[in-house]
Amino acid sequence: MNRELIVTSDIPKAACELFLQIRPRTVALSGGDTPGPFYERLAGQDYDWSAVDFFFGDERCVPPDHEDSNYRLAFKTLLSKIDARVHRMPGESCDALAYEAALRSTFGEGLPAFDLLVQGIGEDGHTASLFPGDPALEENARLVVKVVRPDHPRLTLTLPVLSAAKVAMFLISGRQKREALRQMLADEDIPAACLSAQRIVVIADEEAAPQ
């Protein structure tokens, strides 16, 4: 699969440039350490935020003010500073069907197709909350499923939904992610390599980029 790789010392800048090039109206956000600085920079951009719907690719089953909540990170760095419509995953109830209904209310029937999907990758090759060997990877009927993890249960968009995105932007930093990124670019058998959006752009720092 063809993936565009951008190696940069300034991931937030490169990500903002891509965002403004795409000019998305439907966006699915991710958690993790790398997106935070991007969200902070994005909040300062001159953009018609009132026309944007923000969703989430996954969420831990915790209240929205919990330190492990993906929503909490996005709210602190971006969503509290702009005037956009926000559809957070209900971590406190962990209700997958409720989030499917939220997706349907915006996209209608069929697969939701986000203009922009923000993704990361774990050292084990997971993306969103789709982990190696988990049955959720094989789900092709549901839009959202609950997965069990050692720390917290989670909600995640399923692979067909992630793959329906017009643009998937992976933000990857740190030497510890280098092997997973190499596997993804080589189309090896990891969850991140299974995502097949219309366009996939990987923005990585020099430590994460394969040599």
pLDDT tens readout for residues 77-115: 999 999 999 999 999 999 999 999 999 999 999 899 999
Return the number of other C-beta atoms located less than 10 Å from residue 180's C-beta.
23
Name the one residue in this structure whose structure tokens are 């005037």.
Answer: 83
What's the pLDDT score for residue 147? 97
Rounded Cα distance between 68 and 59, Å, is 9
> Do 157 and 143 touch, CB atoms closer than 8 A?
yes
pLDDT of 33 > 90? The answer is no
What's the pLDDT score for residue 211? 75
pLDDT of 1 > 80? The answer is no
Domain ranges of the chain: 4-179+188-204
CATH tag, 4-179+188-204: 3.40.50.1360
- pTM here is 0.96
Rounded Cα distance between 72 and 106, Å, is 22
Per-residue pLDDT averaged across 142-146, rounded? 97
Torsions phi, psi for 89 (to 5 deg): -70, 135
